[in-house]
Structure 1
Amino acid sequence: MNTYIVQFDEKREGKDVPALMYDETWKIVDSMGGSVLHKMTTAVVPGLVINLPEKVVGDFTSKVMDMGSSKGVKVNVEKDQKVHANAKEEK
């Protein structure tokens, strides 16, 4: 699992940023050949911090970007670097 932050590119002055509802079920197959269903329903809002399995990041990103563009918002999904930076500072 990695932590990702969802950013919306433009600041929409005086307009509500549309909430994007993401509702997916993925089948994740582990190295032993077993599979796990991973269901996620979430409102995608600016600044959302989300934990995603590595295997579904691309799918999540493309769907969220498509939803955003249909509402006129450019959406970025970035890996959270702060988690790692904080771990180093604690020495």
Structure 2
Amino acid sequence: MRKRAATIGAALAGAALLFGATPASAGEAGAEALSCKTSAGSTGGWAECTGSGKWRAKAVCDFESDKYSERVDQKSGTVRVYVPDCTFNIERVVVELL
């Protein structure tokens, strides 16, 4: 019984390591490939990224759901996208890697 528990425990630990490492390495690769800056005004804003990767900008709005820009599949260079305006106030603009 101890042998079985040890085998199951090792398998679960290996699976957790495998699944835990995959998203982190994908995120690190995306972060290295893009350099982004954002700006937010009273109700709107933009995000501008240089490099390559798939991303979109999110407007974090007060008192309503967040709003998103179109998705960008950027091969190189610099791309700026504007987020849809919030009705009341925008807190910030965030870049989401896809």
The question of a shared fold, defined as TM-score above 0.5 by the shorter chain, is answered with: no
More relative contact order in 1 or in 2 (CA 8 Å, sep 6+)? 1
Q: Computing the radius of gyration over CA atoms, which structure comes out larger, 1 or 2?
A: 2
Q: Which has the higher helix share?
A: 2
